[in-house]
Amino acid sequence: FSPSTGGNVGFTITPNDLSDDYDFAIWGPLGSAECSPDSSPLRCSYAAPSGTTGLNYTATDASEGPSGDKWVDDIAVSAGEVYILYVSNWSQSGIAFALDWDLRNGASLDCTVLPIELLDFQAQARGEVVDLLWSTATETDNAWFEVQRSADGEHYQTIATVPGAGTSLERRDYVIQDIDPLQGVSYYRLEQVDHDGSSSYSPVRSVRLLGDHQNMLVYPNPATDVLHIAMPHPGAVSVMAEVLDMSGRTVLQVTPGSGASDLELTVPVEALGPAPYFIRILDAQGRSIGQAPFIRR
């Protein structure tokens, strides 16, 4: 949510079933909405009692644990700030809730729908190219993305334009490559452009081009049940394949065996959920000798 005028913000979360235990956290103020935030929440309550919870004007604590009273302090806001509110049904009942705002001292909320909900944006060096991957949870009147690159983090040039999905309530995954990247450290960002010409920027990602990985081919991409990998490598070598999610967490490890001058590997991926991933090949010393992005469909 984003205030259109400054003031103070409170709210009440009322479960439809008052025996449900609801918890919440708020991040902000932010320059743009990015899920999931990598900072500590501004307000948080995971109090154990069931019933209503939220921000009010009598509480003085910013966060509380299971022994709390379900209420934390209101937030002083300024116009144009962006906040992310996460609500969790700890009871896992599947029953909904009502959210009622309590705005004071002139505060009002901008109810304009954000053009996209960006789940993630990653830039990853691979040999002599840079892989750029991003995902959206929703899109509203999204015309296109401009992929922009900078050598100094201040002056950007557009290197690619990718059509948006218009209006979509489904997850969308995007993958492109910078086939002529800058040497050393470079910076990447997305500019999202609406049909009305308005735009917004993603967080910036930096990449250092090392140039020490072998060429690597993964197919089919997107994959459904198995992923095939082909890459040259001098001499016989024992390898391990690692699959990482977009946060960098290892979600799968496979030891396919060894190869001679060329490696031909098959990695089962049917257990992975639909999403973009990276696959990385490690030698016997744990050093990366190749990596590439792929999408599990």
Determine the pLDDT at residue 259: 46
Nearest 5°: the CA angle 181, 187, 192 is 100
CATH superfamily of 116-209: Immunoglobulins (2.60.40.10)
* Rounded mean pLDDT for each run of 10 residues along the chain, 297 residues in total: 91 95 93 72 93 96 94 93 91 90 91 74 86 91 93 89 91 91 84 88 81 66 88 65 84 69 78 90 77 87
Provide CATH code, domain 217-296: 2.60.40.1930
CA contacts within 13 A on the Cβ side of 59: 23
Domains 116-209 and 217-296 fall in the same CATH topology: yes
Q: Say if CB 107 and CB 81 are below 8 A apart.
A: no
- Tokens 């896992």 found at: 92
Q: Which residues of 127-146 are buried (b: 16+ CB within 10 A; e: fewer)?
A: bebbbbbbbbebbbebbebb
Q: How far apart are CA 133 and CA 174, in angstroms?
A: 6
Determine the pLDDT at residue 154: 83
Determine the pLDDT at residue 258: 47
Determine the pLDDT at residue 175: 94
Determine the pLDDT at residue 265: 82
Q: Domain residue spans in the chain?
A: 2-110, 116-209, 217-296
Q: How far apart are CA 116 and CA 202, in angstroms?
A: 10
Determine the pLDDT at residue 213: 47
